[in-house]
Structure formats: C-alpha cells, structure tokens
Structure 1
C-alpha cells in the first residue's frame, strides 16, 4: 500500500490485492485501516482495525474477513453479538422476572436470589453473558472450596440459569456452550444424624426450659419437626387447611417434591391437637403464626433454634438433623426402607410408585413406631446417670 500525504479532505486508498481493504488518511494525518464489504442483506458495512494494527496484520485480518463474506458470514457477527448481549447481572434480572416467579417454589426462588447476591462476584456480574467462560466458573468454585456444599448449590443454580439463557430466555445464541458444563462438583458428604440417648434427653430439657421464655409456637414447631420428619419450611409455613387430624395426615399443597401427604404418629398428633385447642386464643390460618402478625407465618425461628441448641449443649445441631434423626429412628423401628421413604416423602426412580401407593394404615403404624421410640428416649427414666449426677 503506497505512502499517502494528508490532503484538504479525507483521502482513501484501496489495496490492489484484497478487495475492500482500504486506508483512510484524514487532513490531520490520522491513518485508519478498514475493510469495507456488504453483508448478506446487501447493507454496506465497515470493519475498522485498531490504530496499533500494522498494515501487514490488517491485510491478514481483511483477507480473513473476505473469506467469511464469501461464505455468507458477517465478519462482525461476533462483535454485534457481544454488543447486544446483556451482562450477567442484566441477564439475571430478566431471569428473575421471567423464570423464577413461575417455575420455582418460593423457597428456591429466595435461595437463587441470595446465592446470586452473595456468591457471584462483581467482576463476573459485569461480564457480558457470552464472555463468561468455563474457567470463570472454575475460579468461582475454587473461591468457595471452604464451603463445598454451598459451592455445589451455586454450580447447580448457574447451570439452570445458563441453560435458560441459551434456551427459552434467548439471551445467548442457541449454539452457545453452557460454561458450567464439565465443571467438577465437590464430593457430596452425606450427613446422617441420630441422637444418642443422653443428647435427646438434654434436647428435651432444653425445649421444656425454652417454653418459659420463647414464643411457644416456635417450641411447638421444633417438637413437630422432631416427631414428623418434615422439612423446616414445610412446618414453618404449615396452614390449618393442610392439617387433617381425623385421618392423621398433613396434606401439603407444596413441598420440595410437590404435593404430598405426611402420615402422623401419635406424638405428632398430640402436638397438633394441643395447638388446635389454642386457636381461639391465637386465631390464624397458620399453625405456627408470627408473634407480631398472626396473618403471617412464624418469624425469627432461627434465632430461637440457636438458643435451644446451645442450651442443649449441641451447638452444631442443624434443624435438618431432626429430619435425619426421624429417618434413623424410622429405619430402626420399622425395618422397612419403603416405609421410611414414605414417611419422609423422598422420591427416587423405581421406588416412588411403590411407597406412594402404600395403604394409609401401615404408614400410620410406622409413624407411631417412630414417635414412640423418640418419646421413649426423651423420658428421664431412660437416662443412665453416673455418680448420682
């Protein structure tokens, strides 16, 4: 390409070897290398190269762009796609608006929002969606290696998010790769928990003492968690419309596994009967109402739970451990995996139909066996004391 001096207006010089490759020289002497072409729709477009690009490199890029044009590909398609693609933060706003409210349960929706706010760093949120790569996700997982289970939950959430962006969300082109694909999860450390005799006795004492100072419905909620094997949110958001005392059932309208019936043993029935007797004094649609507003479910439960477990000398006890304990006692008392699955409402391929179609009587009997075993261990007479203490 020949040497050109500035003129009174822009001066253009075309390359003899590559059609469309040109040089523009402004009156002030600024030199601009670009490739001019027409896209598939016949529109004239210009691909401008950075000022630091040498003529030799610009010629190579222009030649590559020409090859794409001959193949019917717009050389600036990637650039256009990048400019039109939202950032990760903007994409999540759309995901939150269009997917989360209709496709997820309230608890899952809340957890997705929490994980995005807390664990997705600002530098990643500001990236264009199409610029997020697998290595970004790998780095995120490494940053959470101190909390492996939380890291795995974040990875599952991001996998769902990117699948939606590529699919129904239409925020990424269909052939885009999900950057979470192939990223290794941390090994799942399944935790099981069953109270030892003295631990359960201490826990029972802590509950009795807490009834003197804490919101009584919170203590009853803990007792029902212990005697039913239900999940925390299933209990805390339980309404009286879902309680069927006559048939000894809680008929949940929604749960982690969808609608399900929870068979109740005698221990759980006694708790609910006691609460039902108090309804006239504490009118509410919720079995465990908030102390501040009876129109809402209980609040502040986690703080009360923390005080109970500290008083029981079990500082690491989780609410979900009560469910594990119920399952453990269930396995020992019923010796039936099918009954335990039915009691806990688990869903597993190949076994779901088998335990979901169990007759109600065997499940009720199984629930009785479990709650009676738990109650027996809570009785002071079953605790062996050493040295008269």
Structure 2
C-alpha cells in the first residue's frame, strides 16, 4: 500500500551515496540527490514523470495535491495531456517538422519554408516557447527599419502564425504567442526619403571613418594577442562600406545585394545581372555600374581574392543583417530617419532629377508596373519647372 506524504517523511529523507527515491500515493515521488537536493515528481506512466518542484519551494501538501490533480487528468485525457513539451528551436522545427509537411501538402510548401527562414532569420535559434509578444514586437520594428512594407510584414507574420499553430497541433508548443499578440499598426512613414548632397557626403565619410576604426581595433587586438603569444585574428576586410556604396549606386534591394554572386558581376562590361530567381517577384534585370560602383567592386574583389560565390559573405554564409552597423553610421554621420531601403529611393530620385526617364528607372529598379515608379514622376516635373523658369532670366537680360 502506497504511503501518504507528510512533513516527517520528507524531513527524514536523508541523502546517500546514490540518488534515492521515496514513493507515495498517486504516483508522487520524492527524489533525494547525494548533494541533498530533494525534488518532487509525479510518475504518470511507466518511464514518464512530471517535475513538481523542490522541497522548500513546494510543501508536502502542495505536492500531494498536484499529484492527485495530474492523476485525474491522466485518467480523463491521457498521458500526453500532462507531459511537458520539449521545446525545439524555430530552425529545427521548420527543418524537421514543418517543411516536410507543407512541402507535401502545398505546391508552394518549400518556398513557404524558405520565406520563414529569410523573414525570421533573427529568431531561428530561439526555442519555440521563448517566442513571445516581446520578440514579435522587436521583429516588427526590425523589419520596418529594413524598409519592409506593412503589407509584407503582415503576410510574413501570418506565415509564422500558421507554422506555430501547427507546432501546437503537433505538441511542440503548448500555446501560440499569436493567441495573445496583436500585430501593431506599422506606419509606412515617408517612403520617398531622399538624401541631400551633404547627407551623402556625411554618410560616405562615416563609412570611411568606421572602416578605418575597424582596422585599428583589429590591429590593436592582434598586438595584444602577439604580446601574449596567442594566435592572431585574420585581418579580414569589412563588408559594410562596399555593401552600402553598392546599394547607393545601383538601386538594388538589400536582399538582392545579399544574394549577389560574382558570376553575376561583369567588371569588363560594367554590369550586374540580377537573375529572376533572386529578385523580388522573380523579375530579373541588368544594372549598369557607374564609376564609384565599379571602383568599389573592383577593390572588393582584390581585397577578398574571390571571383566566385557570394560577393558579400561571412565565413561562407550570406550576410544576415547590417542593422547595427547602419545605426552606427547614422550616428557618426548625423543623418537621421534614413533606412537602408531609402538608398534605393535616393538612387531613383537622383536619376529622375538629372533628366532620366521614369521608364528607365522602372527597368533599373525592376518594377513590374510603371505605376510603382510614378511616385518619382513629380521630381521630373519640378526639374521641368526650373528649366522653364530660366526663360524669365533671359527676359530680364533684355533678350
């Protein structure tokens, strides 16, 4: 007959050379470690137990009540209803559980899994039960800083919501954070943010200053390591400055630059070929390189000594984010309220203001419809108005 637990039984449970267990009613177990730590468990099935808590935090009466409650639940709902969920990371869940399912059930299943990895790269190493409202709020802020539109953020959030709902169904998660999280309104703000000549100069100077600072810090670290006969760190070239300058001079999307490979860069013909499968909506295009972009890529190729693979990489892997570096650059330059995506807007506006056709800009940006590019048309109108105003000067001159 099983014993009833009481304070005396718990107090008399002494530590030995090996872990010991005392068994009580309703499957309640008191496990005593050689260190003296005593912990309550409830055995709900052969080889399956649920941890209640340690002696001192949980009283004997509380442990007995928990054991009785779990026993009743097992009888009514089964063992799985009380077993703790073993949380896995989002990355492992997608690879081992979700991707095989959606790939089999949906035509775009593989693309959905890839979208999740790309959109939630910063959360891949997070365990499912640690993805909370706070993490989702931070994710929204980060996506907006990257220049992602509100509609895209909403679509990406819906994809994760579906994945986590499936995680709950498959017992990898008890409750989805989307049950209590409400996606905040993500204002678009002034998407047509253009840079002045002074702002561009300040950003270029900040990039150069940061690049030299990175080199000095690495050299200082290696000096310290040499003095102590530690292995030196490799003097690698920093990717932030060339990436930003390529973005500024080509109008490419951040995601396109991250995926850019040397095979798509032709320094002889001064072109970059954005292949369809790596472009938004699958639309490819050819971009002409101006003098600065050509110089940046030529120098970068010489520094990295690579002619194949990704143009910008870290240990052979794509660059995930330069948000931290971009914040530093904004602070150093004094240029505020500018996102990485605004470099694309500035590229387009600069061409239009210098007389370039809206239709040329459409091709360079890879817009599927010219209506997307017409946001820059008013800049051409402004330039035309200034040109016509020059006639007034001729009249005042007596011509």
Bigger Rg, structure 1 or 2:
1
The structure with more helix, counted as a fraction of residues? 2
